[in-house]
Amino acid sequence: MQPATFPTVFRGNDKVTTHTGQKPPYGYMDWWPISLYVNNERPPFNDRDVRWALSYYIDRQQLVEVGYLGASTASKLPLPPYPPLAPYFDAVKDLLAKYDTNEFAPKKADALLQGKGFKKDGEGFWADAQGKRLKLDIIGFGASGPAIGPVIVEMLKRRGVEAGMALPPDFDDRFQKGQFDGAIYGHGGSINEPYATLRLYQGASIAVPGAHQANFARWKNADYDKLVDEAYAVAPDDTKKLADVWHRAMAIWLPELPDIQLVQNYHRIPWNTAYWKNWPTEQNPYVNGAHWHLTFAMVLWNLQRASAA
């Protein structure tokens, strides 16, 4: 559910609650940080300067405030800031200082596009030397597309990118087959060590169909691929060695910016406590509450009958 919906629900039924009670963000942070994917196999999005320009045009704080009424957080990397992953965020602080994936800097974006030969046309849109506009048609789905897609489109249009948004019924098919220019989607990668996220960008996974562990950005870099293979051979609990490989991989990935980092994903799931209690909450987080996950059986095992109304 969208954050804007919850106050109305609470007014209608005070027995309804969420993971964080009746207060924002109305849920918990999922493992699925959301990005604006651009198809790295299609010009001009195969150019990292164009990808960085798009990133600089996006104000993440405004995206959170407008898209989620403040009930979300920006995402700097394609993995969630879970405690086991903290060493890997620390390991790349120096790189993020140089390549700030959340920086809102329209003038930097303008300079990058001008350096690639783009100029504003009579209607204020960027166009290349042949007069072809910088156009980005974005597809989305589920809760994330409707929440932040229109906000991103408006931000880009105000800066001269001819952007548009659609929520096609065949989103999954198009996204997995690379039939898109731009798409709003998350990352089904790491939760306790960085290999699974590194694998998301390995060239060999481009042709792999599926909702997770695939290279949806369709970005390729042979040196990066070698580092992913190196990480695979490291024990998951060897944090020091993994952090070294992770840093070297991000030294390639961050300047390239295969996809544009946006926000963390939150599961905002309402519970009705009228008949059942002991739902998972931030005070009692025995499991995530997603009913579409295999772990939902643990919720059913732990529910207790509420006192009769």
Which homologous superfamily is 36-59+84-258 in? Answer: Dipeptide-binding Protein; Domain 3 (3.10.105.10)
For residues 19 and 41, the answer to whether their CB atoms sit within 8 Å is no
Assess whether pLDDT exceeds 80 at residue 308: no
Whole-prediction pTM:
0.94
What is the total residue count of the chain?
309
pLDDT (tens digit per residue) in 220-275: 999 999 999 999 999 999 999 999 999 999 999 999 999 999 999 999 999 999 99
Half-sphere exposure of 254 (CA within 13 A, CB side): 20
Helices (H) and strands (E) in the chain, counts: 12, 13
Domain extents in the chain: 36-59+84-258
Tens of pLDDT along 96-133? 999 999 999 999 999 999 999 999 999 999 999 999 99
d(CA 117, CA 111): 10
